[in-house]
Structure 1
Amino acid sequence: MSLEWFDRVCAELQDHLESICEEYDQVGQMTIERAAKHPRIEFFVETEDVDTEELDRDFFCTLFFDPQNEEFYVDSFDVDSGHTAKIILSDIEEIIDEVHTSLHDYINGEAHYAEDGVYLQSEGLDEEDCETYKDDLEEEYYEAEQINEDDIFEEIDVEWSTPEVTAFKHEDEVEVTYQFGVVQETGDGVLRRVNRIWTTDDELIKDESHFIFSKEEASTIIAMIASHMDQLSEFDF
């Protein structure tokens, strides 16, 4: 299993979408979840809640990647049969077209969603239609179901090889720890980073992140860090 195709698409997708669609350049954003069993790229528009004035994310498209078969796909729901289907996207052009179409369906209020964030597929979008859309960020957008980010890393089985190792600590204010593990299904390595900050009110703020990498990547990562250590600065309090 390899994530090379996934990483290549992630690196190129944003620039391609911004270049072909003015609307995406203005409002479209994407987030990458590489740690999931089936990594995914999620596309969203930020909207403001009129009651709380807080920013929300309205997701309009999700691309999944099957590392076993090294292919991208989207889940669609057939209203007539009541079944969910997997639609394979074989190349970068099909991937771009899927995201592009989903964005304009969302802007026009034509996007529909079934349970669990599965999208009802729409007809293809004519490229000439891009010129007809106007930028109206105050438009009332259709609210898509959002994914609970706390559940993402629970989707993969990791065997932790080390306990949490303290990499940095400053008195009773900041502590950064790392833990190394191996993904059981793929054999990839995992670095778990936990950043703990204690406020003046003794409130603990905990931020946790994970980085997954293959055996082939490990030596490159180590070499790059080692050869550029002299460019790094120590933490300044």
Structure 2
Amino acid sequence: MSMEWFNRVTSELQDHLNSICEEYDQIGQMTIDQSAKHPRVEFFVETEGNERDYFCTLLFDPHNEEFYVETFDYEFEQPARIILADIEDVIDAVHDSFHDFINGDSDMFVAVDEVEDDDDEIDNEADYLLEADDGEEYYVGEILEDDDETIFKEVEIEWETPEVTAFQIEDEVEVTYQFGVVSATGNGVLQRVNRYWSEDNEFYKEESTLSFTKEEASTIIAMIASNMDKMSSYEDL
């Protein structure tokens, strides 16, 4: 069994999707889970209330080294797989699923350059999260008030990786990380998102961001690597 093909595709997938689809670039996100027997890549948009609407799940069979999506064969009345032989097939499958999803909920999403100076439309725009900027709230267009003029704050981070799942217990906790580079300064940004559910099944989301220079990166990596044996795992707590 090999994960080489999985790692190669997932490392390039976000950039390919962003480049071929402006709408996906604005609101589409992905997360990677390698802990499952068949690793998966899930695609979603974030809406009001920090909830995720998933529109596509890619699965990877490490034994056969192939991507697939699950479907249902109504003729034979049983689950079926659609094998995605190369990265172009993978991109097409995700892209088609995204637009099927958007077309079904087209009134939910408004591109930044389509928003007019109308209070109702602006309020609706501010409800939909996009990606991180500086550790605060993150939106497709974040609304700022400046001398009674409404302006949209441009996102300044170029995300170099998708949101990667570092730890997960289903319906309890999920911790993800994402690495990006600040366009204006070239500094690195590591965003941590902790999603968890209370005993009352209430959903919570905590975000934190670490910004650092290239010179600091090697020191951070070395400090973590040399002290990992002193740390406790989640099961030990």
**Shorter-chain TM-score range:** 0.3 to 0.5
> TM-score scaled to structure 2, two decimals?
0.47
> TM-score scaled to structure 1, two decimals?
0.47
